[in-house]
């Protein structure tokens, strides 16, 4: 692994490409499985995750008494979920936890909140609605400060459910959970762009989201689709090196070698076709290198 990292950094330097020094932890979320308790929308999902994943988050933090920032901006009711994460992190030994309450784009310009980012060792985006999150933070000084530190320092940035979906370049924010086979049954927009040339979807197997992800990949085959099951996460180092953490599976859809697709020819509402779409299924501890970061680096 050390030799691979050295080779990656050498090629990146030669090509003038910056490799982030920070770490990303994208988590598939966790919710009740009973039909009576199943939420009607993603906003109602509490996104609780196992100790295994949060322990890994805490383990990756740098420094003495590292500061963890909880950002519940994706939620319409941020206070309860923020307090839950404070309790969870403190139970795992991370005592220095603060909440950054951002509800408007004006909040995302607050100099005091930017100072909090400067002091943080780790950042946790909670679940909720990813479109709310990107609409509030997209292009803001707060997000730009996070990106700057992620690129230059050992900052750990985590997100669960909506917080994970928003991390990627291409963000799926709407679609038929059990469908997606018809053109335009899913909608996507720009995410927070922390993980380059990737689209992330969460609650992936439980909600049957593989077809809607395939449609996202068909629309842009250079974008790798990563589906995260509940209680399962990807830990990403150097912007491309993926490690699976958790009890479920990570599904990877690679469309870079698709031989043909009719997604651009068919009418809205028609089923789409893809030939030679590649899929990987990865369990706990397995690794994968994202090829879309730059094909010359892999």
Question: Does residue 276 lie within any of the structural domains?
Answer: yes
Q: Is 108 in contact with 136 (CB distance < 8 Å)?
A: yes
Is residue 125 a part of any domain in this protein?
Answer: yes
Q: Which residues are catalytic?
A: 161, 203, 230
Q: Is residue 27 part of a domain?
A: yes
Which token pair is 172? 């799926």
Q: In degrees to the nearest 10, what's the CA dihedral of 248, 275, 215, 198?
A: 60
Domain count of the fold of the chain: 1
Q: What is the pLDDT of residues 25-56, one digit of tens each?
A: 999 987 432 333 334 444 444 556 678 999 99
Tens-of-pLDDT digits for all 298 residues of the chain?
A: 566 666 666 666 555 578 999 999 999 987 432 333 334 444 444 556 678 999 999 999 999 999 999 999 999 999 999 999 999 999 999 999 999 999 999 999 999 999 999 999 999 999 999 999 999 999 999 999 999 999 999 999 999 999 999 999 889 887 655 567 888 888 889 999 999 999 999 989 888 899 999 999 999 999 999 999 999 999 999 999 999 999 999 999 999 999 999 999 999 999 999 999 999 999 999 999 998 544 544 4
pLDDT of residue 182: 87
In a domain, 8, yes or no: no
Instruction: Tell me what pLDDT residue 188 has.
Output: 87
Answer yes or no: is 4 within a domain.
no
Give the tens place of pLDDT for each residue, 98-154.
999 999 999 999 999 999 999 999 999 999 999 999 999 999 999 999 999 999 999
- Asked whether residue 5 is domain-assigned, the answer is no
pLDDT, residue 83, reads 92
Strand 195-202 and strand 224-228: the pairing is: parallel
Alpha helices in the chain (DSSP H): 2-15, 51-60, 78-91, 111-119, 130-137, 141-152, 162-165, 210-219
Q: Indicate which CATH number applies to the domain containing 70.
A: 3.40.50.880
Query: 201-216 burial by CB neighbour count: b if 16+ within 10 A, else e?
Result: bbbbbbbebbbbbbbb
3 part of a folded domain: no
Give the model's pLDDT for residue 168.
Answer: 93
- 13 lies in some domain: no
Q: Which pLDDT belongs to residue 132?
A: 96
What is the extent of the structural domain holding 155? 20-32+39-297
Q: Residue 95: how many CB atoms within 10 A of its CB?
A: 12
């Amino acid at each position: 692994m050390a030799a691979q990292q050295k080779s990656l950094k050498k090629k990146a330097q030669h090509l003038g490409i910056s490799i982030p020094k920070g770490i990303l932890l994208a988590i598939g979320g966790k919710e009740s499985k009973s039909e009576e308790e199943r939420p009607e929308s993603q906003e109602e999902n509490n996104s609780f995750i196992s100790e295994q994943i949060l322990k890994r988050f805490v383990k990756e933090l740098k420094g003495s008494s590292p500061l963890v920032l909880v950002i519940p901006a994706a939620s319409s009711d941020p206070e309860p979920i923020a307090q839950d994460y404070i309790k969870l992190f403190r139970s795992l030994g991370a005592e220095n936890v603060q909440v950054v309450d951002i509800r408007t784009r004006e909040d995302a310009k607050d100099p005091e909140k930017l100072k909090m980012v400067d002091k943080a060792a780790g950042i946790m985006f909670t679940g909720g609605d990813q479109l709310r999150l990107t609409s509030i933070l997209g292009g803001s000084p707060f997000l730009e400060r996070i990106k700057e530190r992620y690129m230059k320092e050992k900052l750990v940035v985590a997100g669960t459910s909506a917080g994970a979906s928003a991390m990627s370049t291409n963000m799926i924010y709407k679609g038929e959970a059990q469908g997606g086979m018809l053109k335009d049954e899913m909608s996507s927009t720009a995410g927070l762009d922390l993980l380059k040339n990737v689209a992330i979807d969460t609650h992936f197997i439980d909600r049957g989201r593989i077809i809607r992800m395939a449609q996202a990949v068909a629309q842009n085959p250079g974008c790798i689709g990563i589906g995260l099951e509940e209680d399962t996460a990807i830990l990403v180092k150097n912007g491309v090196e993926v490690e699976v953490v958790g009890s479920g599976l990570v599904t990877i859809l690679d469309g870079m070698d698709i031989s043909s697709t009719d997604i651009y020819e068919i009418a809205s509402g028609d089923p789409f076709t893809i030939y030679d779409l590649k899929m990987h299924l990865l369990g706990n501890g397995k690794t994968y290198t994202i090829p879309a970061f730059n094909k010359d680096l892999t």
